[in-house]
Amino acid sequence: MPALVKIEETVELSQPRALVWPVLAKTDWINRAVKLPAVQYEVKPLPEGGSQINARARMLGIPLAWREFPFEWTEPEFYQVRRIFHGGPFAEGVMGLRLRETGPGCAIDIFAHFLPRNAFGAFLARNIIGPKTMRDMRKLVRHVGEHLTGREPAVMPQLPRQAASLAALDRGLETLRTEKLPATLLDQLRAFLIEAPDVELSHIRPFTIAKRWHATRWEVLRLFLQATRAGVLNLRWEVLCPNCRSTRLPRTSSLADLASTAHCDVCNIRFDAEFDRSVELKFSVHPSIRPCDEQTFCLVGPGARPHIAAQIHLEPSERRAWRLPTVPQELRVRSVQVKDITPLPRHSVEVVCHPQKFELHASDTTVFVRNPNPFPVQVALESGAGDDEILTAARVTNWQEFRDLFATEVISPTERVLIGSQIILFTDLRGSTALYTRIGDAPAYALVRDHFKILHDVISAHHGGVVKTIGDSVMATFSDLTEALQAAHAMQTQLAGLAAKPGVRLRLKCALHAGPCLAVNANDKLDYFGSVVNLAARLLEKCEGDDLVLADEIFHRPETQDFLRAIKQNAIADKEQFTGFHEPIRVWRIPLLAPRADQSPES
């Protein structure tokens, strides 16, 4: 067998590698930009966990088939992938990049190492594939540097970009203009749908786009939702694997088609479709505006996994030193071959990978990873970077604007979908029955109706949603505790100015709880059930009006303490035995409005 052929080249850029890494980590984009062919992948589950990935493609007219090992990387220092070929001119190949700091900039070391199977393979590597790879990558890296300085609008050179139907696009945008959306955002959307490469338009994350446009997240989401109704975009629900965060089939345009469980073939794990973690809303360009490309050019590269700061592949009985990434987030060790997930301390340790858990042992000099098993192990360090750009189903279905625009989006009547974290807010009016007697049916009804309008607007402004009304009560949901607390305060403040006549005003009771619950289809509306919902409703019993009642565990959260300091109020503790709950529950009542001299006991 001929000797190993090493093809290497270095390109220097003026930007630091922390700025360059997020772009050059997009291996799927790179493969498209350098005109590599689309790849067909076959995933074979392994009994110990994870999978074996086999791939096929045709390059320069030569059919190639190979086993693709998991990418290895450390952000923002290097990545590489190893391939063992099944027949053909090559036996093995390792390709990747290294990024080195060079003062204010960085040097990009491009490498492609081929182990030829025969003389023809050696000739191909040295004279055709190697030189072409270096030429294409050199051009790409320099283009990325120009893009980062603002001199090149395209992220990478020659990324495929199909033409848009300008007539159809402008018709849709004209419809959007009638919705009084910001003109700047409409112009940015138009430019994006015309100029973006194909690869960007099939899995669009609105919060990612908002960051790029320097716009408010919720304004961009509102634009995308309205654009879907105008036929400019499509929306679809995708189930994310909790391990690799990649989309796993099936994708669906309707929540009604969403199954409560899913399976990731690559990670070889089955998991629940949790609204607050694994079900994501994404958008794509409408096919009448522009064709949408769904081909795959790279399945498992680091760019598709920004939440993983480093990954390593260990053969059986292998022990290796591991240079940790310099990222600010706390790191967790995860592996598809290990059931446990473990926080990684910042000091030197040896991580031992057992099937049930990781063992951490003290180490004198550096971090080591050891695989004592008779099978390979893939170990990752999770940082969670990029997770805040994922628009979960819980987050978007909690927003009143989404509920108003897509009222028919509900889950299947036969499914019960878990939400691991949900904030439930109940409100009720104190003395509303007596109000009808005191001021008359018509004025009282008008006052209560106006109160519902205020609550609806406040809830929507704080990115929550009204689930249902029961008499004078409202049940609402939020994804963010701070926003829920602020909404309760805003409700009270605004209702204080809603008076029917001197001495009469509405007094609102608010109760809030948070935790896991079930999302269900109740009469073709998205509703929520469980002990968290039950307790939130029961907490209203401890309200006196102009106040908010919380359970002890929510009261002690940092968001609640920050809220109390902001409104400069003290909370009053109590203990209550609620019907349906075995043990007494410690509760806290927070007065949200100062008592008024003209306040009557019945109001």
Closest residue by Cα to residue 282 from 356, 340, 218, 201:
201
**Residue 432 to residues 296, 396, 450, 509: CA-CA distances in angstroms?**
60, 32, 13, 11
pLDDT, one tens digit per residue, over 321-374 is 998 898 888 999 999 999 999 999 878 899 999 999 999 998 878 899 999 999
Residue 166, classed as helix, strand or coil, is helix
Burial class (CB in 10 A: 0-12, 13-18, 19+), 595: exposed
Burial class (CB in 10 A: 0-12, 13-18, 19+), 346: exposed
| Phi/psi-derived region of residue 524, left when phi > 0, alpha when psi is between -120 and 50, beta in every other case | left
pLDDT of residue 298: 81
pLDDT of residue 245: 84
Degrees to nearest 5, angle at CA 562 with 557 and 564: 100
pLDDT, one tens digit per residue, over 513-563 is 999 998 888 888 889 999 999 999 999 999 999 999 999 999 999 999 999
Strand 507-521 relative to strand 547-551, pairing = parallel
pLDDT of residue 493: 92
CATH superfamily name and code, 5-148:
START domain (3.30.530.20)
| Alpha carbons 469 and 465: distance in angstroms, whole number | 12
| Alpha carbons 593 and 379: distance in angstroms, whole number | 53
pLDDT of residue 252: 79
pLDDT of residue 603: 40
Burial class (CB in 10 A: 0-12, 13-18, 19+), 153: exposed
Whole-structure pTM over 0.85, yes or no? yes
pLDDT of residue 146: 96
CATH superfamily name and code, 415-591:
Nucleotide cyclase, GGDEF domain (3.30.70.1230)
CB atoms under 10 Å from CB of 507, counted, come to 24
What is the number of residues in the chain? 603
Ranges of the chain whose pLDDT falls below 70 = 1, 248-250, 499-504, 595-603
Closest residue by Cα to residue 586 from 572, 599, 568:
572
| Alpha carbons 473 and 492: distance in angstroms, whole number | 14
| Alpha carbons 80 and 122: distance in angstroms, whole number | 21
| Alpha carbons 13 and 96: distance in angstroms, whole number | 17
pLDDT of residue 234: 94
Per the omega criterion (within 30 degrees of 0), is the bond before 116 cis?
A: no
pLDDT of residue 499: 61
| Alpha carbons 24 and 566: distance in angstroms, whole number | 43
427 near 548, Cβ under 8 Å?
A: no
pLDDT of residue 501: 54
